[in-house]
Chains A and B, each alone.
Chain A
Amino acid sequence: MLAPRSQRHRGRYAAFAHRLSGVLLAVFLPFHFLALGLAIEGEARLDGFLAWSDQPLVKIAEWGLVTLLAVHMLAGLRVLVLEFLPWRDARKGWVTAGGVLAAATGLAFLASALV
């Protein structure tokens, strides 16, 4: 899977990040819906789940998911631009910018959770 050095260009990284984040989010989504669905059984049931989710490992997972969502959206927006707007270049700068923005989003979440 690991490509030789010369094959590692940003377009490929973006595609791989887009795909991996998508798969992980797709796996996560049913669980997310199930957790929220606990509200049907009443506030207390949902609260019980939220209390469980207050542990560090879960918070780290939440941070991960927020970052993955940001990565997936930003990489996807770049694809939409490349496919539907007149081609200028591969917009590789967008890959870097997207990575930075996604990391910042994750950090904002972490800061909000911890502070």
Chain B
Amino acid sequence: MTDILPTLTVRIWRGAAEGRFEAFAVPKRDHQTVLDVVTYVQRELDPTLAYRFACRVGMCGSCAMTVNGRPRWTCRTHVEAVTDAKGELEIAPLRSLPVIRDLAADMTPFFEKWQQAQGRATGSRTRHEEMHPVDPAAPRRQAADAGIECINCGVCYAACDVVASDPDYLGPAALNRAWTLMNDDREADRAGVLKAAAAGGGCHSCHTHGSCVEHCPVGLNPSAGIAGLKRLSLLAMVGGKV
């Protein structure tokens, strides 16, 4: 006895910068995620579909795509939660990043801007010295801790309007990392980090729309961190100690 399963029509971006949406009919299943849908299409309907995933359990951020216009992790997005009464599902690669093919975006600019914001730690001690003490309860450490869970998934970058309209803007993730370093007692080059983060295309380009906060799957708040960077850069400008 064969049941005829209800199907879901999904439109998926094919191509690169130029391309089109292609429609597929996918069996509807309870609790299916958008990643399940994409996986079904690639395995059963069109093996040429390019997409990216890894852990499939909401830890790595690799499966981030644009789902019905919104950047999200597809492994943590239930189809029922994002499709409306018409049952439409449209999947595209992340916004504001070059497209390699189909749903796979090129993360290179994202990571280049990370480096440009000096989002890398500079140590102050070697293994021959005692570890730098860090008080976990200190307010600055708490501020840093609030931002360090970033796994570089790119969702905030894709959600940000300034990223979309200003190619120089470093973006919320890179600046969030700079903010965590500014609050890290172990960071040896805070002046360098601040200079990089407050330069042209840096924190002052943020207009506090808050789309990054709206969309971050880990619940981080780059807007608040960037506001902190703005305050620090003002302090540095008037000769205060940062």
Contact = CB atoms under 8 A, between A and B. Distances in A.
Report A-B touching, CB under 8 Å.
yes
Interface of A: 3-7, 9, 11-12, 15, 19, 79, 82-84, 87, 90
Nearest to B82: A6
A3 B71 CA distance: 12
Helix, strand, loop or mixed for chain B's interface?
Answer: helix
A12 B70 CA distance: 14
Interface of B: 68-70, 82, 159, 161, 207-211, 213-214, 221, 223-224, 227, 230-231
Given A4-B70, A15-B207, A15-B208, A9 B214 contact: yes
A84 B224 CA distance: 10
Given A5-B69, A87-B221, A82 B227 contact: yes
Helix, strand, loop or mixed for chain A's interface?
Answer: helix
Contacts of A90: 210, 213, 223
Contacts of A12: 161, 209-211
A51 B227 CA distance: 48
A79 B208 contact: yes
Contacts of A79: 207-208
A4 B159 CA distance: 12
A90 B221 CA distance: 10
Given A15-B209, A83-B231, 18 more contacts: A3-B69, A4-B69, A4-B70, A6-B70, A7-B159, A9-B214, A11-B208, A11-B210, A11-B214, A12-B161, A12-B211, A15-B208, A79-B207, A82-B227, A83-B227, A83-B230, A84-B231, A87-B224
